């Protein structure tokens, strides 16, 4: 009989300066992470290595006992980056498992949500496979809480029972993520994107209002495939409407491939024991050799801003670290390597208040998340700028043409 997560004494398992981590988003084991925070003053100094969080578990005040290192400033992790208590580790998603396995990113203790799998001797982590195999392989100690609300998924979501050192029972909430509702500008941008995507293409999207809008704009398409780092509820809509069949992907035929499920109970029920869904680590989902085998891969990503040469900043806005390098460069390059594939950076032409253009003359020292040499297409609500093979002056002209009209003269003078 296992005890509840809320009764776990972390002091028995943690050593001074251990690095503790857990899966991103919906993969967070809330019973364990809340217990860790509650006990922090009775524990040795620790470092927490985290990705995107969406719970309210962590706050800047917890820096009194924890050091924070993070891959991004997305979701509620933004609280830590904007308060300047988290140190950013700049890395492509595809590189993270290798960095963990090599020890360049240290991992000592992993916290997981798990459910017993029909395959004897295995648990499933259900919702997040992206870095989990590397975390488990590198960790000295794996602490897991059993949560029977998880969907039964397989492939890289499996963890051997022998790899789990401490097993508890989840006695708290789970993390679920509803799709953001797109606004009117998102819908206008999405309509432009949908016009570029042919029937039979394989798509990659992130999460947020704009990806939701793109999926809704694709509802008249046929035989689309999905190969993505994460998927959300809106992908279920496309499957149920017969839009996504995964019939023409070239690899993984008939199966939606993803590293994570960022959704509500609807997505979890869809994923449960679904042979048409594969949960794969980022060593597969973001692998350049794999992406080059996918037929007609259309990678749809966004950014904070794009300069007139095509450089994309997806990390910093108004002096604050809000985004990530993430998987954008992986998919930008992978889509262009895919037979018939294209890469799309889609974004509204201005900030939500309309005061600032997101097509800018220069990034002025802000990060270059995706360099101009990798750029293919940029889309705003005002049109499409095809940049591949274009000179700097041609790029500037095309990007000005899709900027908001209120900023075009200023961009031309710049």
CA distance 12 to 108: 14
Cβ pair 176, 271 in contact under 8 A: no
Q: Are 300 and 332 in contact, with CB atoms under 8 Å apart?
A: no
CATH (domain of 248):
3.40.1080.20
Q: Look at the block and give the residue holding tokens 């594939």.
A: 341
250 part of a folded domain:
yes
Question: Do 191 and 322 sit in the same domain of this protein?
Answer: yes
Q: Is 275 left (phi over 0), alpha (psi -120 to 50) or beta?
A: alpha
The candidate with the shortest Cα–Cα distance to 325, out of 310, 316, 335, 314, is 314
Do 106 and 161 reside in the same domain of the chain? yes
Residues 144 and 287 in one domain: no
Q: Is residue 189 part of a domain?
A: yes
Beta bridge partners of 257: 227, 278
Domain boundary among 169, 199, 218: 169
Residue 178 placed within a domain: no
Q: Is 358 domain-assigned?
A: yes
The answer to whether 245 and 213 are in contact (CB under 8 A) is no
The answer to whether residues 384 and 390 touch, using CB atoms and an 8 Å cutoff, is no
List of residues 6+ apart from 289 with CB closer than 8 A = none
Domain count, the chain: 2
Is 263:176 a contact under the CB 8 Å cutoff? Answer: yes
In this structure, the answer to whether residues 165 and 203 fall within a common structural domain is no
The answer as to whether 179 is a domain residue is: no
Last residue of a domain, one of 116, 136, 169: 169
The answer on 213 and 130 residing in a single domain is no
Pick from 168, 130, 155, 156: nearest CA to 326: 130
Same domain, 192 and 162: no
Instruction: Please tell me whether residues 152 and 275 are part of one structural domain.
Output: no
Residues 52 and 193 in one domain: no
- Of 110, 145, 169, the residue at which a domain comes to its end is 169
Shared domain check, 195 and 163 = no
pLDDT, one tens digit per residue, over 330-343 is: 999 999 999 999 99
Whether residues 159 and 208 share a domain: the answer is no
Are residues 20 and 90 located together in one domain of the fold? yes
My answer on whether 164 and 191 are in the same domain is no
* CATH number of the domain enclosing 123: 3.40.1080.10
pLDDT of residue 1: 57
Range of the domain at 127: 5-169
Tokens encoding 232: 């959300």
Q: What pLDDT, on the 0 to 100 scale, is given for residue 63?
A: 96
**Residue ranges of the chain whose pLDDT lies below 70:** 1
Q: Is residue 176 part of a domain?
A: no
207 Cβ neighbours under 8 A, 6+ residues apart = 177, 179, 180, 230, 232, 262
In a domain, 67, yes or no: yes
pTM: 0.96
Domain membership of residue 162 (yes or no) is yes
Give 100: exposed, middle or buried? Use CB within 10 Å, 0-12, 13-18, 19+: buried
């Amino acid at each position: 009989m296992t005890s509840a997560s809320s009764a776990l004494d972390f002091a028995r398992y943690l050593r001074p300066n251990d690095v503790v981590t857990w899966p991103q988003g919906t993969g967070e084991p809330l019973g364990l992470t809340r217990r860790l925070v509650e006990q922090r003053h009775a524990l040795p100094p620790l470092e927490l290595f985290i990705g995107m969080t969406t719970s309210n578990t962590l706050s800047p005040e917890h820096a009194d006992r924890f050091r924070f290192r993070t891959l991004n400033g997305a979701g509620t992790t933004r609280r830590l980056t904007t308060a300047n208590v988290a140190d950013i580790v700049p890395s492509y998603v595809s590189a993270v498992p290798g960095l963990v396995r090599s020890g360049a990113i240290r991992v000592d203790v992993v916290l997981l949500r798990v459910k017993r799998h029909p395959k004897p001797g295995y648990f499933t982590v259900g919702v997040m496979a992206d870095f989990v195999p590397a975390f488990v392989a590198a960790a000295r100690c794996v602490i897991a809480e059993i949560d029977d609300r998880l969907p039964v998924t397989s492939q890289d979501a499996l963890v051997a029972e022998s790899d789990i050192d401490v097993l508890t029972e989840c006695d708290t909430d789970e993390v679920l993520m509803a799709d953001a509702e797109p606004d009117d500008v998102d819908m206008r941008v999405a309509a432009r994107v949908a016009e570029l995507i042919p029937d039979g293409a394989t798509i990659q999207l992130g999460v947020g209002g704009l990806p939701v809008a793109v999926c809704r704009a694709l509802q008249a398409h046929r035989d689309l495939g999905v190969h993505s780092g994460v998927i959300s509820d809106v992908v279920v809509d496309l499957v149920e409407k017969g839009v996504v069949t995964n019939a023409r992907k070239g690899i993984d035929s008939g199966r939606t491939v993803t590293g994570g499920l960022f959704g509500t109970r609807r997505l979890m029920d869809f994923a449960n024991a679904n042979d048409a869904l594969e949960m794969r680590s980022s060593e597969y989902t973001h692998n350049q050799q794999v992406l080059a085998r996918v037929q007609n891969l259309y990678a749809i990503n966004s950014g904070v801003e794009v300069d007139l040469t095509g450089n994309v900043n997806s990390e910093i806005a108004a002096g604050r670290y809000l985004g990530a390098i993430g998987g954008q460069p992986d998919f930008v390059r992978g889509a262009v390597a895919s037979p018939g594939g294209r890469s799309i950076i889609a974004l509204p032409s201005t900030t939500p208040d309309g005061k600032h253009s997101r097509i800018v003359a220069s990034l002025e020292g802000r990060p270059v998340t995706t360099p101009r040499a990798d750029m293919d297409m940029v889309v705003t609500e005002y049109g499409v700028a095809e940049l591949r093979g274009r000179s700097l002056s041609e790029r500037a002209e095309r990007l000005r043409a899709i900027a908001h009209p209120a900023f075009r003269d200023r961009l031309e003078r710049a």
